[in-house]
Chains A and B, each alone.
Chain A
Amino acid sequence: MNFTRIKTIYFKELVDLLRDRRTVIATIIVPVVLYPMLMLFSVQAASVQTGKVAVEQITLGVTSRDDQNTILKLLANEPTPKDDDGKPAKDFTPLISSVQFRIVDDLKDAVQTHQVGCGVEILKVENPNDPLHEQFTFEIFVQPDQIRSRLAANRFENALTRIGQSRINQRLETLDVKRDVIDPFFFKQTNLTTSGSLLGLILPLLLVLITLTSAIYPAIDLTAGERERGTLETLLVCPVPAGELVAGKFLTVVTIALMGAMLNLGSVAATVYFGGLTDMLGAMDQNAGDLPLSAIPIVLIALVPFAVLTSAILLAVCGFARSFKEAQNYITPVILATLMPGMIANLPGTQLQGPMLVLPVGNMVLLVRDLLSGTQLAGFQIMMVLLSTSLYAGGAVALATQMFGREAVMFSDNASIKSLLSRRMIRAGKYPSVGLACLYVAILFPVWFYVQNLLQRHFSHDFANVLRYTAVLMPVFFAILPALMLWYFKRELKPTLALEKAPPQYWLSGLLLGLSMWVIGAEVIAFQEYVLPIPKALIEQQAPMEALMKEQPLWWLLLVIAVVPAVVEEMCFRGMLLSSLRTNGKRWLALLVTAAAFSMFHFLVYRLAITFVLGLFLAYLCWQSRSIWPGVLAHFMNNGFAVIRAQYPDFIKLLGIDPTSESNHMPIHVVVIAVVMIAAALWISRKPRPDLNRII
């Protein structure tokens, strides 16, 4: 990567785009002017509407003139209510001045056909005209889901309640009883900020939408647009790797997307604080306009990975297109697909937990919502959202790079998606492209998370069954599906999944790693404990699992915890993913990427470090030996030790480790031996095995 050149491309694209009137309109005018205006108007309209309905005339349906007169007589005595300080309320209009009557035959029908707001029938009157014992029974016909009907009924009931109260007072006076005697409770209500403030509900989805829409135009313009204008060919004959071109363009799209989001957030904040929106929202619903200013920078930071994700997706999709029009056609379904999880997440009551943590886009909407409403978030939740979004973004970037400047897209006359995916037109090759492998891993990530969640929920923490089904499903998702995909794209299974036999020295390395990795793992956890202690709640959650590890037969545990994961995880990560990364030859980058993806699949922040380190060793071994089998051995032994330690806690005494020790650290002699073994393992396999197929 040549960063000067990426910078050159980035600034050129940015200048080029910002000189385009359409970008300026789409990314500056629309978010700064249009959205706040729309928002202002809709909120205003809503409040005006509510206000209007509240003071409007109401129409009461009655069945006879007698009923009408009776009600009118009652309403004539409606007292003026008192406010909190005991003074008569100011803007009070008695119902009698804003009510009109309509005599109808069928009250139900009249309400349902909206001829009247609500219907009132006097069912019976006991002791009529006796001021002490007169008692009315009304039946009210109302459509509670219709605001006018509901308001009419409310106002009628409120008025009669007030009248009833004043009658009670009169009667008590006559009987010489104090009012307190019959009112045992008094209430005073204090309203607090709700977490679901109105703005907090609209804004996350709006921001997501703006980020997305701001990215669309640049994404099309920089790919399909450039192709259409005939400049892409020139660009591709420049001595610049496709990766750098994509990087420059990608950064440009991200910048513009973030610019759109930032401008929008700023203008919404300005509208709220200076435009009197707070007052207006407050009139409707107290604290509704509350928007913590301090949260805005955090929200912007949280939006970065999201902008990265959408920009990458859009670039990848537009990479397929050969013209502006075609790109627009592809983008519409993508936008819908992107917004759907956002809408789902935006449903009231949804929380940033469980599956929502990794729901693409949806998790971002929830994160922004919670940040804006000041909800307490655990670091783990934020990490999970940012990490999973970054993983998806990584997959999309890889795909975008693969697509960019592809011959089939550049010069093809046939429908390009078809020619890219139709098996007949796929040229056979040895390894899958980085894009293909990353895309699979990126899609598998949420899928596997959901599978695990579903299993846990279905068997409601019956861990034995969860484990059993995991052991069955793991090979499907980590081995069989990748193999099918590789077959479809005509990749060579054996070298890609690294299923070839390994020479003995790598087996020796695998054995040494298997013997020592668990010690290193334990040390990683022990050191992690200083910065990121594992919460008690989590340890308790794991308790049934630990119990299970003690109860179940050893062979079964070894099978589902050690054998199956060792084989299929090696196939997927050290096999498919690592092989795809071989094609660009950068060993350390490949190892880091593989280890990072592997660690993220363990879904727990506390396991990130340990699985990353172990994943690094395993990836190194596979890279050097071009075979997963030594790694499978090491992986199996590592997981196997955990099982054996659970069943026979005293087993580690053999190594001079005190199982009851308070310290998380291993005794120093054990650590030294493990480090020596690891070093030996790495040294033994320091020479990479040549690619036999290539020589022949």
Chain B
Amino acid sequence: MILADNLTKSFPTPDGAEKQAVAGLSFAVEPGQIYGLLGPNGAGKTTTLRMLCGLVTPTSGRAVIADHDVQTDALAVKRVLGFLTANTGLYQRLSVRDVLVYFGKLHGMTAAQARDRADILIDTFDMADFAILRCGSLSTGQKQRCNIARALVANPPALILDEPTLGLDVLSNRVMLNFVRYQRDAGKSIILSTHYLDEAETLCDRIGLIHQGRLIAEGSFPELQKQSGEQRLSDIFLKLIHEEPVHIV
């Protein structure tokens, strides 16, 4: 469903060298599966996710979502994609409902369809109290709910979430995680990146550990435990990183 095939991205740096942010990454995410992309700061998670949704052009390799190649058929990919990051903003001067209707229309719905869809989402995420308020006046948690609803406007079969729980309190965090589980159970392919490892332990069906743009381990949490002999994900993580020689590219 979501497929990364030998994805590579290098950025030119001011001093003339090339910096490889992602180096030959391959993985696949099946429907009904949550794939966790974990790694230290600067490992290349965000770059990978951006390549998957066509915001960044890969230097080489291929990204395929629902049988559409991201490079050659970007619009088709965007039609089946929900994208959400920690710093995604909302239009401050539009109301929650207006935002949902707007994105519905951008996904090709008629005005009536978009309004119906917005009402359903407002109901689902319990936003009726603040649906007519402007987004600028919402609390972080309310914003987050609105953002989730926005990503789900077109009911996309694939979800790409970059640190969706960053900076949320316990309550909003729970809303988020429940939402992710619910979507998985509804058969969607979900890929997310996070720095909260305990969260990943319980949530993700598969975990990919990346370091310096490379996949250094992949599997379900029990598989990773067995493979490394460590119990906690953070220990597994540290162990694997230290074993791997440090590449300077």
CA distance A5 to B105 in the complex (A): 7
Question: Are the C-beta atoms of A5 and B12 separated by less than 8 Å?
Answer: no
Binds B, one of A87-95, A110-118, A231-239, A535-543: A231-239
In this assembly, does B215 line the interface, its C-beta being within 8 Å of a C-beta of chain A?
Answer: no
Q: How many Å from the CB of A599 to the closest CB on chain B?
A: 34
Given known A-B contacts A15-B94, A239-B107, A425-B12, A234 and B102 have beta carbons under 8 A apart: no
Residues of B within 8 A of A15 (CB): 93-94, 98
Check A237/B55 contact, CB under 8 A, given A230-B87, A414-B14.
yes
Q: Does A229 contact B (CB under 8 A)?
A: yes
Judge if B245 is at the interface, Cβ distance under 8 Å: no
Provide the bound-state CA to CA distance between A424 and B50, in Å: 24
- CB closest chain-B residue, reference A238: B106
Q: Are B108 and A239 in contact (CB under 8 A)?
A: yes
Interface residues of A in 221-251 (CB under 8 A from B): 229-231, 233-241
Residue B144 interfacial (CB < 8 Å)? no
A8 touches B14 (CB 8 A): no
Is the C-beta of B35 less than 8 angstroms from some C-beta in chain A? no
Query: Which residues in chain B, 192-220, are within 8 Å of chain A measured between CB atoms?
Result: none
B229 within 8 A of partner (CB): no
| Measured CA separation A229–B90 after assembly (Å) | 8
Binds A, one of B75-83, B125-133, B163-171: B75-83
B177 at the interface (CB under 8 A from A): no
Q: Given A231-B89, A238-B78, does the pair A419, B12 have CB atoms closer than 8 Å?
A: yes
- Is residue A20 contacting chain B, with contact meaning CB distance below 8 A? yes
Q: A234-B88, A237-B54, A239-B79 are in contact. Are A12 and B12 (CB under 8 A)?
A: no
Chain B contacts for A8, CB-based, 8 A: 102, 105-106
Give A130 to B96 CA distance when docked, in angstroms: 100
- Give CA–CA (A9, B102) in the complex, Å: 8
Q: Quick one: closest A residue to B54, CB to CB?
A: A237
A237 and B78 contact, CB distance less than 8 A: yes
**Chain B residues, Cβ within 8 Å of A236:** 55
The contact string, 1 if C-beta is below 8 Å from chain A, for chain B 94-105, is 100010001101
Closest chain A CB from B145 CB (angstroms):
15
Closest residue to B160 on the A side, CB-wise?
Answer: A237
| A199 CB within 8 Å of chain B | no
Per the bound structure, the CA–CA distance linking A231 and B94 in Å amounts to: 12
B227 to chain A, nearest CB (A): 34
CB distance from B161 to the nearest CB of A (A): 12
A16 at the interface (CB under 8 A from B): yes
Total interface residues on B, CB under 8 Å, equals: 33
Is chain B's binding surface mostly helix, strand, loop or mixed? Answer: loop
Task: Say whether B103 contacts A238, CB under 8 Å.
Answer: yes
The reply on A83 being an interface residue by CB < 8 A is no
Contacts A239-B75, A407-B55, A411-B50: A230 and B106 contacting too (C-beta < 8 A)? Answer: no
Closest CB-CB distance, A68 to chain B, in whole Å?
Answer: 74
**A410 contacts the other chain (Cβ, under 8 Å)?**
yes
B53: interface (CB < 8 Å): yes
Q: Which of B59-89 contact A (CB under 8 A)?
A: 75-76, 78-79, 81, 83, 85, 87-89
Q: Which of A19, A229, A240, A411 contacts B106 (CB 8 A)?
A: A240
Residues of chain B lying within 8 A (CB to CB) of residue A424: 12, 16
Chain A positions 5-61 with a Cβ under 8 Å from a chain B Cβ: 5, 8-9, 12, 15-16, 19-20
Which residues of the partner chain B approach A240 to less than 8 Å between Cβ atoms? 75, 78, 106
B56 touches A (CB below 8 Å)? yes
| Known contacts A8-B106, A12-B102, A239 near B78 by CB under 8 Å | yes
- Is B91's CB within 8 Å of the partner chain A? yes
Bound-complex Cα distance A231 to B83 (A): 12
Residues in chain B near residue A411, CB distance under 8 A: 50, 55-56
- Chain A, interface size category, equals 20 to 34
* B57 touches A (CB below 8 Å): yes
Q: Is the CB of B89 within 8 A of A229?
A: yes
Instruction: Tell me which residues across on chain B come within 8 A of A241, comparing CB atoms.
Output: 75
Chain B, residue nearest A232 (CB): B89
Q: Is B92 an interface residue (CB 8 A)?
A: yes
CB-CB nearest in chain B for A18: B93
Which partner residue on chain A sits nearest B47 by CB separation?
A: A411
For the complex, what is the distance from the CA of A16 to the CA of B102, rounded to whole Å? Answer: 12
- Write out the residue numbers on chain A whose beta carbons fall within 8 Å of the beta carbon of B81: 237
Give the residues in chain B near A12, CB-CB below 8 Å.
91, 94, 98, 102
A16 near B50 with CB under 8 A, answer no
Q: Which residues of A contact B108 (CB under 8 A)?
A: 5, 239
Is B150 located at the chain interface by the 8 A CB criterion?
A: yes
**Closest Cβ of chain A: how far from B19's Cβ, in Å?**
11
* Shortest beta-carbon distance from B45 to chain A in Å: 14
**Which residues of chain B have C-beta atoms less than 8 A from A237's C-beta?**
53-55, 78, 81, 83
- B57 and A407 contact, CB distance less than 8 A: yes
Per the bound structure, the CA–CA distance linking A20 and B136 in Å amounts to 12
Complex: how many Å from CA A233 to CA B53? 10
Residues 117-129 of chain B, each 1 if its beta carbon lies under 8 Å from chain A, else 0? 0000000000000
| Chain B nearest CB, measured from A419 CB (Å) | 7
Across the interface, which residues of A come within 8 angstroms of B90, CB to CB? 231
Contact check, A231 vs B57: say whether CB atoms are below 8 A apart: no
Q: Which of B16, B79, B89 contacts A230 (CB 8 A)?
A: B89
Chain B residues lying within 8 Å of A19, measured Cβ to Cβ, are: 93
Residue of A nearest to B75 (CB): A239
Tell me, in angstroms, the Cα distance from A240 to B74 when the chains sit together. 10
- A241 to B74 Cα, complex, angstroms: 9
Q: Which residues of A contact B87 (CB under 8 A)?
A: 230
Question: A414's closest neighbor in chain B, by CB?
Answer: B14
Would A233 and B88 count as touching, CB distance under 8 A? yes
Query: Which of A16, A20, A234 is in CB contact (< 8 Å) with B83?
Result: A234
Distance, CA A410 to CA B94, complexed state (A): 23
- Residues 1-25 of B, flagged 1 when their CB comes within 8 A of A and 0 if not, give 0000000000011101000000000
Residues of A within 8 A of B79 (CB): 239
The 9 closest A-B pairs by CB, nearest first: A230-B89, A239-B78, A19-B93, A237-B83, A229-B89, A239-B79, A425-B12, A231-B89, A238-B106
Chain B residues within CB distance 8 Å of chain A: 12-14, 16, 50, 53-57, 75-76, 78-79, 81, 83, 85, 87-94, 98, 102-103, 105-108, 150
Beyond A238-B78, A407-B57, 8 additional pairs, beta carbon < 8 A: A8-B106, A12-B98, A15-B93, A230-B88, A231-B89, A233-B85, A237-B55, A237-B81
Cβ contacts A to B, 11 pairs, < 8 Å: A12-B91, A15-B93, A234-B88, A237-B83, A238-B78, A239-B75, A239-B107, A239-B108, A240-B75, A240-B106, A411-B55
A residues near B (Cβ < 8 Å) are: 5, 8-9, 12, 15-16, 19-20, 229-231, 233-241, 407, 410-411, 414, 419, 424-425
